[in-house]
Structure 1
Amino acid sequence: MVDALRSARVVALGGGHGLAASLSALRLVCEQVTAIVTVADNGGSSGRLRDDYDVLPPGDLRMALTALCDDSEWGQTWGDVLQHRFTGDGDLSGHALGNLLIVALWQLHDDPVTGLDLVGRLLSARGRVLPMAAVPLELLAEVTGLDQADPAASTTVRGQVAVARTQGLVQSISLVPDDPPARPESVAAVDEADHIILGPGSWYTSVLTHLLVPELREALTRARAHKVLTLNLQMHTAETRGFSATRHIETLHALAPELRFDTVLTDPTTIDDRDRLVEACGTLGADLAVAPLARLDRAGEHDTLRLAAAYRDILS
């Protein structure tokens, strides 16, 4: 079964540090990993390059590529180079070198996926990285609690950074454009997958965004792959203030009620009411899997080996 897992086609969806954690673990147990990455980031180096050159935000794509880089000296060296961020007060300050490299390749090649594949070859990456949509996306959120005179009033918050940092309570999210085209390579990867992993990651800005791309959501719904939803280690963030593990599942089910999973994976520290959580998993058609996933020395961060062991046990 372990040999079968190594040759299985695994797709992981998300963005940022959460997806990087998942990919770092998956590459230890399987050899055909495809990352499908959110493209709604509008902050930092990615936001600047997106505005200046009208391209997909490269930052989350870069992080996914470096998470899949080979363990050889070559792969690790180039992974470090791509992650290098310029300091100082010049025009390059704050830019990650990998972001600049990706945008340069996009200017040389009309197809963004070709550029990402070339970076993957440079890193000897153990897998492939694809954008979830063919165009840059803007994230919108309807948020309550920002109007002191009327806390129940809804305010529209625009942009991934603003949504991630909001002091209000997110009630719903949407994208501009509201019917974005998916990358055909991403849809094909989902259709052909043996296993699909959604999460962990920032819930509204990295995880649920995939379900707002109609073609991708439809592909996830019809996929016959074994589907795993990985919950976060930290329940309470700016965008999920007051959320329980159960509430995370409820928001996903409300957004895509037709989508089914086989397993929900979580760390034991996230469970406050096991019966309610099991019931929520049931609305997705999923069983609950509980395993220690966190690093002992850094609260809130996934331990790569623990997460890899959990994925191996579930997917095998």
Structure 2
Amino acid sequence: FLQRQQRRSGPRIVAIGGGTGMPQLLRGLRAYTDNITAIVTVADDGGSSGRLRRQTGMLPPGDFRNNIAALSEAEGLMTRLFQYRFAESDNGAGNELGGHSFGNIFITTMAAITGSFESGIAESSRVLAVRGRILPSTLENVTLCAEVRQAQPDGSMEWRIVEGESALPRAAGQIERVYLQPAHARAYPEAVRALLQADLIVAGPGSFFTSVLPNLLVDSIRDAICASSAVRIYVCNVATQAGETDGFSVVDHLRKLDEHAAGAFPVALANSNYDVSRPPSGNSDWVTLPPGDPPRAYRVFTDDVVDSERPWRHDSAKLAGAVMSAYETLRAEKAAAE
């Protein structure tokens, strides 16, 4: 009972992101507060979400599905149910459900019943006993685009424009800048209000260019973050992501963050533990903090936040503990200075 009371009166935390990284953070933060708002990207256009987006004109449900499961009171069961994916047809006759996850179908159906995507998310959250809120950064049908630089055999550089979130990791070059079309998408008002009222705002972890930055490219979202009196922390990934952040260090992430959303997150949290049973898998490598000072605009906290069983991911409890420790430190420093 006491723990429930403490969570109900806990800090107002807004998490910003998408993909599979954000649910890792949310699972951990549930131990500290019930006052959680997740602001989620709507730029996804691949897989089941992309198909539903094209077929129905609705916003992509996949990232919302992941976060509803993470914040549900029955998280273990909800995760299995929402992530259940119908098998592709193998008889050549076609299968309308093939490749779709149950959670995406559920959210799409709820949106149709309630009359709008945002009410569908709200009602899905209520039915599934979600602790907290899950909001889109915008309700507009945005496309994520990127300027990509690729080295040519003769040593020259070729610049290309790549359109579509799912196409970016396959662009075979270095992503230099991302932007939204339309350029000035309107922010979802409840998301702006949550940012302005927050005690703590956290961006990441997650795919840097395709899950985290798209939210910050919505002008009023970025402006509200900068105007908020909240503690603002960017969580750096523990491993690089093939096709997006190959070869990136912590400093590289911060430089790109500053280029896209200057001043939004003056504090960063990075992993300090690279001594685990096995290294990141595939084409990934550790995201390390090079010797020397970080970019001038940033203060960097480091901690062991890696999942020892899946070292390319964050551990939910470790990550939330490190975030809350940094939050308490910064809040105490602010109080002492006043």
- Equivalence for 1:94: 99
Q: Secondary structure at the match of 2:32?
A: coil
- 2:269 pairs with 1:265: yes
Change (3 A) 1:5 1:154: farther
Show structure 1 runs of 5+ residues with no match: none
Q: Secondary structure at the match of 2:169?
A: helix
Q: Secondary structure at the match of 1:57?
A: coil
Aligned residues: 306
- 2:42 pairs with 1:39: yes
- Equivalence for 1:58: 61
The answer (yes or no) to whether the contact 1:5–1:315 under 8 Å persists in 2 is no
**Cα-to-partner distance string for 1:57-85 (whole Å, 9 max, x where unaligned):** 00001111111111x4xx54334222211
CA RMSD of aligned residues (A): 1.9
Q: Secondary structure at the match of 2:308?
A: coil
Show structure 2 runs of 5+ residues with no match: 90-94, 275-286, 329-338
The answer (yes or no) to whether the contact 1:164–1:239 under 8 Å persists in 2 is yes
| More divergent stretch after superposition (3-12 vs 121-130) | 3-12
The answer (yes or no) to whether the contact 1:57–1:136 under 8 Å persists in 2 is no
- Output the CA distance in 1 between the equivalents of 2:51 and 2:41: 17
Q: CA deviation at 1:4?
A: 8.1
- Output the CA distance in 2 between the equivalents of 1:247 and 1:45: 32
- Output the CA distance in 1 between the equivalents of 2:241 and 2:10: 37
Greater C-alpha Rg: 2
Q: Secondary structure at the match of 2:97?
A: coil
- Equivalence for 1:306: 318
- Output the CA distance in 2 between the equivalents of 1:76 and 1:273: 38
- Output the CA distance in 1 between the equivalents of 2:118 and 2:175: 32
The answer (yes or no) to whether the contact 1:146–1:167 under 8 Å persists in 2 is no
Q: What amino acid sits opposite 1:20 in the alignment?
A: P
- Output the CA distance in 2 between the equivalents of 1:275 and 1:244: 13
Change (3 A) 1:275 1:236: farther
TM-score by length of 2: 0.86
Q: CA deviation at 1:143?
A: 0.6
- Output the CA distance in 1 between the equivalents of 2:9 and 2:205: 21
- Output the CA distance in 2 between the equivalents of 1:33 and 1:294: 23
Matches for 1:163-242 after TM superposition, within 5 Å: 163-242=168-247
Change (3 A) 1:5 1:242: farther
- Output the CA distance in 2 between the equivalents of 1:69 and 1:243: 34
Q: CA deviation at 1:149?
A: 5.8
Change (3 A) 1:6 1:296: farther
- Equivalence for 1:283: 297
Q: What amino acid sits opposite 1:283 in the alignment?
A: A
The answer (yes or no) to whether the contact 1:235–1:245 under 8 Å persists in 2 is no
- Output the CA distance in 1 between the equivalents of 2:151 and 2:102: 37
Q: What amino acid sits opposite 1:291 in the alignment?
A: D
Q: CA deviation at 1:242?
A: 1.9
Which structure dedicates a bigger proportion of its chain to helix? 1
**Cα-to-partner distance string for 1:151-204 (whole Å, 9 max, x where unaligned):** 412111111111123210111111111111111111111111111000111111
Q: 2:291 aligns with which of 271, 274, 287?
A: 274
Change (3 A) 1:313 1:272: closer
Q: CA deviation at 1:301?
A: 1.3
Q: What amino acid sits opposite 1:288 in the alignment?
A: V
- 2:48 pairs with 1:48: no
- Output the CA distance in 1 between the equivalents of 2:315 and 2:166: 26
Q: 2:26 aligns with which of 11, 23, 27?
A: 23
Q: CA deviation at 1:273?
A: 1.5
TM-score by length of 1: 0.91
Change (3 A) 1:296 1:6: farther
- Output the CA distance in 1 between the equivalents of 2:146 and 2:36: 31
The answer (yes or no) to whether the contact 1:78–1:122 under 8 Å persists in 2 is no
- Output the CA distance in 2 between the equivalents of 1:210 and 1:140: 13
| More divergent stretch after superposition (162-171 vs 35-44) | 162-171
- Output the CA distance in 2 between the equivalents of 1:241 and 1:223: 32
The answer (yes or no) to whether the contact 2:200–2:327 under 8 Å persists in 1 is yes
The answer (yes or no) to whether the contact 2:8–2:35 under 8 Å persists in 1 is no
- Output the CA distance in 1 between the equivalents of 2:265 and 2:317: 27
Change (3 A) 1:208 1:292: same
Q: What amino acid sits opposite 1:211 in the alignment?
A: L
Q: Secondary structure at the match of 2:293?
A: helix
Q: What amino acid sits opposite 1:156 in the alignment?
A: I
Q: CA deviation at 1:96?
A: 0.7
The answer (yes or no) to whether the contact 2:7–2:32 under 8 Å persists in 1 is no
The answer (yes or no) to whether the contact 1:233–1:266 under 8 Å persists in 2 is yes
- Equivalence for 2:333: none
Q: Which runs of 4+ in 1 moved over 4 A?
A: 2-6, 146-151
